[in-house]
Chain A
């Protein structure tokens, strides 16, 4: 077992060696521009891109013509939301999203507010799921887009996308989902799920960084987005720019591997995740964040009360994990996702996200459990809050000098 152990697979995943092998020829011998229609170098590249498009489409139940390659999920989120806003502004200006979305969605919506969009940021329930009744009451005839993520990047909860899509469609709105954390991990089917637009990324599913895609539905209804970059009119005019052929080949291969191995992998990872979670929640005052029935198989987000996340991670020195603690960001604000669940700031500061992946072994999980337990105990011995809790002092009754 090599240290440190990588348990941050929601941030990014290592590339699968099979993906790298598929990509390599497209860096050198097969270097052509997929848009070069008049010589074999271009044809070879175009063929590779077409094949990748099929591999991606197959994984998500789409037609290959519905896949737009981009630089990643952030670009796809921008293209989908801004592109729909521009394309459908005659119809309305109302967009509905939720407070636990990724910043690529939230900040895009904020940007559009300056351009005249009216955006509703739905709160979520304490388990992280969108309240469908609230959503239904929020949609108006001015609503053009409902943008709700598939699986959450911090807590892993999976939203009821089918129900959300139905509500959107009933009112004539489109449904966009950022499925960056879900595609390749759990079955995602754009037809069954009623998805009109969907963002995803290669590097979250053992592919390369810098490449992703946007699914744009072509039938029932035919969806269009206004391009956000002007240029050569690539990708059916929706995304100009010379195609990143090696990256796209990698994305395609990553999708194919996920399609073939997902069922088994999800089973293995959820068993490991459950083991990790049940071994850690034997610690007093530890809490799993988010709905535990509707969630991705490979992520556990746990708050260890009375210890601070960054301090804790320092003691987990052989583990690469992440925390909702303020101290991990420049902002000094703890995770807005955890706060959206109604977690108090101190519990948000005390959270650790464990993200398992394709290459995580049981031995690594066992090691992680031991080191985490030791770290929590070490820090609780240092924690004045833990001591007060043990003495039965109600911390909420203390007047803290906030700084």
Chain B
């Protein structure tokens, strides 16, 4: 199975690889997936006082599509406020990266990671976690 050019681009030159200080109150961390399943994503956001995401970093254990999905997610997150970020849908990722059906779960994981990171930030700062809608499997 051949990968799309965009997947290859994100895989070869992943954007925003790295680690933010997870103990900071400005940082939300989402860690989703499991090693046994072959995918683990860690997505982190740094949020300013206006609830705008100023930085995003990721690290991913997984296939090329999982790495590309999380790399793309960090690009999309930067500059968004957390309410808009919550609306990112896994199918947008599928479309942008032209993921085949067997790789849709990678986009689901990325969406889960985004929501987990935002909720981690919210809970840290005294807001309620938002019950996420189920992503499209």
Residues of A near any B CB (own CB < 8 A)? 306-311, 314-315, 325-327, 330, 332, 334, 344-346, 349, 381-387, 395, 400-403
Contact = CB atoms under 8 A, between A and B. Distances in A.
Contact of B61 (A307, A315, A332, A403): A307
Contacts of A306: 61
A207 to B, nearest CB: 28
B34 A402 contact: yes
B36 to A, nearest CB: 4
Contacts of A349: 35-36, 38
Given A344-B36, A395-B35, A403 B59 contact: no
Interface stretch (B83-91, B102-110, B118-126): B102-110
Contacts of A402: 34, 36-37
Contacts of B17: 381-382
Contacts of B11: 311, 314-315
Contact of A308 (B32, B38, B105): B38
A401 B36 contact: no
Contacts of B109: 403
Contacts of B105: 332, 403
B42 A384 contact: yes
B67 A400 contact: no
Contacts of A315: 11
B contact patch SS? mixed
A383 B3 contact: no
A314 B3 CA distance: 9
Contacts of A345: 35-38
Interface string B25-50: 00000011111111111100000000
Contact of B67 (A326, A344, A382, A403): A382
Contact of A400 (B19, B33, B108): B33
A381 B60 CA distance: 9
Nearest to A387: B59
A315 B66 CA distance: 14
B112 to A, nearest CB: 8
B28 to A, nearest CB: 15
Residue in B35, B62, B63, B108 with the greatest tally of chain A CB atoms within 10 Å:
B35
A108 B129 CA distance: 52
Given A327-B38, A400-B40, A401-B32, A314 B63 contact: yes
Contacts of B8: 314
A345 B112 CA distance: 22
Q: Lowest 4 CB-CB distances: which A-B pairs, in order?
A: A400-B34, A346-B35, A345-B36, A384-B42
15 contacts: A308-B39, A308-B61, A314-B11, A314-B63, A344-B35, A346-B35, A384-B40, A385-B35, A385-B40, A395-B35, A400-B33, A400-B35, A402-B34, A403-B33, A403-B108
B6 to A, nearest CB: 14
Given A325-B63, A330-B102, A382-B59, A403 B3 contact: no
A310 B35 contact: no
Contacts of B34: 400-403
Interface in B91-117: 102, 105, 108-109, 112
A311 B63 contact: yes
B38 A334 contact: yes
A315 B14 CA distance: 12
Given A311-B67, A401-B33, A384 B41 contact: yes
Nearest to A327: B63
A384 B36 contact: no
A382 B40 CA distance: 11
Contacts of A403: 32-34, 37, 39, 105, 108-109, 112
B37 A385 contact: no
Contacts of B35: 344-346, 349, 385, 395, 400
Nearest to A315: B11
Nearest to B60: A382
Given A325-B38, A386-B61, A387-B59, 12 more contacts: A306-B61, A308-B61, A311-B61, A311-B66, A311-B67, A334-B38, A346-B36, A382-B61, A383-B61, A384-B40, A401-B34, A403-B109
